[in-house]
């Protein structure tokens, strides 16, 4: 059995939903279908989830939300019309959404989650109605009835472990099950959503709970590419990669799949197949626990910018038990999470994402470090990019570092920082943002293009 999840663009119009129907019907194993809210039909279109957020905000401000409400309903009814599904389901959707919008607003974050979640919940009903109208046994599944319980954290719910056992019972239901993504219920029966793009998470939880063979994630790209196509034209597609490789790549800008989405599948060792709704015959990319290394040591190159570093030096720092811990505690007291901590003997750098690090914070943190840790020097550098060279095959491949650093040197890129852990699934280079694209191209050339010369 397979769990199949479709993203917003795969369900944005009647035409897209027809494709989804064909895809599901073409494989008897595809029994559980996780749906997102309707996404964009064209670049300038709005996602239903965005409309719902705006609508909920208006309600919370006591402003008139009627126009937004109608735009949302219009999205569903235009799809229903296109698919010739009876108006009854649209009436259900209207009642449901109105009920939510008129609900309790004393806890704004909870209200927001309740409204947001309607995008997936109502679309699941519509998709189920279409399947039924096509003569297929299909049922909308309410996550509360199915036992998808989550922690009561608005916008950042975490699945509760007991859900997995409850969800296993879905195996006994007949027909195709249409399951809304993105949210679950607290033990008190309230709706809480996962973080944004959380339908991927729902699919992964169901895959784990139902103990299926495969979790198929349909999106709008043919595959995961070995490098960002906006930096290198027509890059190589990745056929198979491991969870760890996917995670390292997605960290630095590969956004095909929601980060947290892999966790439940990873824990159950269930492979995840990325496929394209608009080109279902393309093989796509499979994410697995282990792969053979026949494709060379490197599987992909990712990069991301907007990083900064806090460089701290203190003579004999190395002798001071507790120095690093104290330094990290100062950052933690500002709620900052760090990315990496490369260190020399008497110096240590902390790499963080720049967006969380305001100018006023910068001054305050610099002062606290200088005063509390009696440092010799604290220097903050902004405008850094991190480049990840990722591949399980690097683990014991002598010379990968040499190849990578030679390629960067020849492209005249100065390496500001290198961080290679014992894990050796990835090698990280810190460079200045202005050098980012040149560096990525040089590395791609070295590890992928060179072979074909």
Using rule CB under 8 A, residue 324 touches a copy of itself = yes
Using rule CB under 8 A, residue 428 touches a copy of itself = yes
Name which position in 329, 434, 449, 450 contacts a copy of itself (CB under 8 A): 329
Q: Kindly state the smallest distance separating residue 25's Cβ from a copy of itself, in Å.
A: 35
Q: Are 179 and 214 contacting, i.e. CB atoms less than 8 angstroms apart?
A: no
Q: Kindly state the smallest distance separating residue 453's Cβ from a copy of itself, in Å.
A: 20
Name which position in 27, 95, 290, 332 contacts a copy of itself (CB under 8 A): 332
Name which position in 247, 258, 275, 305 contacts a copy of itself (CB under 8 A): 247
Pick between residue 281 and residue 321 the one whose CB is nearest to a copy of itself.
321
Using rule CB under 8 A, residue 396 touches a copy of itself = yes
Using rule CB under 8 A, residue 311 touches a copy of itself = yes
Q: In what order do the strands lie in the sheet with 138-140?
A: 138-140, 176-180, 30-35, 2-6, 214-219, 272-276, 285-288, 240-242
Q: List the one residue out of 22, 325, 61, 357 whose CA is nearest residue 366.
A: 357
Q: Kindly state the smallest distance separating residue 249's Cβ from a copy of itself, in Å.
A: 10
Q: Is the dihedral of CA 55, 58, 62, 64 positive or negative?
A: negative
Using rule CB under 8 A, residue 176 touches a copy of itself = no
Cα 51–263–259 angle (5° rounding)? 45
Q: Which helix (H) or strand (E) segment is 225 a member of?
A: strand 224-225
Name which position in 36, 132, 277, 426 contacts a copy of itself (CB under 8 A): 426
Pick between residue 110 and residue 446 the one whose CB is nearest to a copy of itself.
446
Using rule CB under 8 A, residue 142 touches a copy of itself = no
| Footprint (CB under 8 A) of a copy of itself, residues 80-109 | none
Using rule CB under 8 A, residue 382 touches a copy of itself = no
Q: What is the dihedral of CA 220, 224, 228, 229, to 10 degrees?
A: -60
Using rule CB under 8 A, residue 336 touches a copy of itself = yes
| Footprint (CB under 8 A) of a copy of itself, residues 348-367 | 348-349
Name which position in 313, 368, 378, 438 contacts a copy of itself (CB under 8 A): 313
Rounded-to-integer distance, Cα 22 and Cα 131, Å: 10
Pick between residue 56 and residue 348 the one whose CB is nearest to a copy of itself.
348
Question: How far apart, in Å, are the Cα atoms of 445 and each of 25, 72, 229, 311, 407?
Answer: 42, 47, 13, 32, 8
Radius of gyration of the chain (CA): 24
Give SS3 for 335.
coil
Using rule CB under 8 A, residue 408 touches a copy of itself = yes
| Footprint (CB under 8 A) of a copy of itself, residues 182-211 | none
Rounded-to-integer distance, Cα 29 and Cα 3, Å: 8
Rounded-to-integer distance, Cα 168 and Cα 188, Å: 21
Using rule CB under 8 A, residue 168 touches a copy of itself = no
Rounded-to-integer distance, Cα 205 and Cα 263, Å: 8
Name which position in 65, 285, 309, 375 contacts a copy of itself (CB under 8 A): 309
Report how far Cα 426 is from the mean position of its chain's Cα atoms: 19
Pick between residue 4 and residue 350 the one whose CB is nearest to a copy of itself.
350
Q: List the one residue out of 150, 161, 162, 159 whose CA is nearest residue 187.
A: 150
DSSP structural state of residue 197? T
Using rule CB under 8 A, residue 242 touches a copy of itself = no
Site residues (CB under 8 A) for a copy of itself?
Answer: 243-244, 247-248, 251, 259-260, 262-263, 266, 309, 311, 313, 315-316, 318-322, 324-325, 328-329, 332, 335-349, 379, 381, 388, 396, 398-399, 401-402, 405-406, 408-409, 412-428, 430
């Amino acid at each position: 059995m397979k769990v199949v999840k479709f993203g917003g663009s795969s369900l944005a119009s009647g035409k897209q939903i027809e494709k989804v129907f064909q895809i599901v019907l073409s494989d008897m194993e595809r029994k559980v279908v996780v749906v997102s809210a309707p996404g964009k039909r064209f670049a300038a279109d709005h996602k239903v989830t965005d409309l719902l957020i705006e609508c909920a905000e208006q309600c919370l401000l006591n402003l008139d939300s009627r126009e937004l409400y109608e735009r949302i309903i219009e999205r569903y009814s235009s799809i229903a019309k296109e698919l010739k599904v009876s108006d009854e389901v649209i009436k259900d959707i209207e009642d449901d959404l109105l009920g939510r919008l008129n609900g309790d607003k004393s806890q704004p974050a909870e209200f927001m989650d309740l409204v947001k979640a309607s995008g997936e919940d109502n679309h699941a009903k519509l998709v189920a109605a279409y399947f039924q109208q096509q003569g297929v046994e299909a049922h909308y599944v309410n996550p509360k009835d199915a036992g998808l319980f989550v922690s009561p954290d608005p916008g950042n719910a975490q699945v509760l472990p007991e859900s997995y056992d409850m969800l296993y019972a879905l195996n006994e239901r007949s027909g195709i099950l249409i399951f809304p993504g993105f949210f679950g219920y607290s033990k008190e029966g309230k709706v809480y959503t996962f973080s944004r793009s959380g339908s991927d998470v729902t699919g992964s939880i169901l895959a784990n709970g139902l103990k299926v063979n495969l979790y198929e994630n349909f999106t709008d790209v043919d595959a995961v590419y070995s490098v960002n196509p906006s930096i290198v034209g027509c890059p190589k597609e990745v056929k198979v990669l491991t969870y760890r490789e996917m995670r390292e790549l997605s960290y630095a800008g590969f956004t095909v799949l929601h980060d947290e989405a892999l966790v439940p599948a990873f824990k159950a060792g269930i492979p995840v197949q990325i496929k394209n709704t608009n080109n279902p015959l393309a093989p796509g990319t499979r994410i697995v626990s282990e792969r053979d290394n026949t494709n060379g040591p490197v599987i992909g190159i990712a990069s991301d910018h907007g990083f900064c570093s806090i460089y701290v030096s203190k003579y004999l720092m190395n002798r001071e038990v507790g120095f690093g811990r104290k330094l990290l505690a100062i950052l933690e007291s500002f709620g900052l999470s760090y990315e990496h901590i490369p260190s020399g003997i008497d110096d240590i750098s902390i790499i963080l994402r720049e967006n969380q690090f305001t100018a006023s914070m910068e001054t305050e943190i610099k002062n606290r470090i200088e005063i509390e840790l009696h440092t010799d020097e604290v220097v903050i550098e902004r405008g850094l990019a991190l480049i990840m060279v990722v591949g399980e095959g690097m683990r014991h491949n002598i010379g990968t570092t040499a190849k990578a650093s030679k390629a960067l040197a020849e492209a005249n890129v100065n390496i500001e920082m290198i961080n290679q852990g014992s894990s050796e699934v990835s090698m990280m280079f810190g460079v200045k943002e202005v050098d980012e694209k040149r560096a990525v191209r040089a590395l791609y050339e070295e590890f992928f293009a060179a072979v074909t010369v």
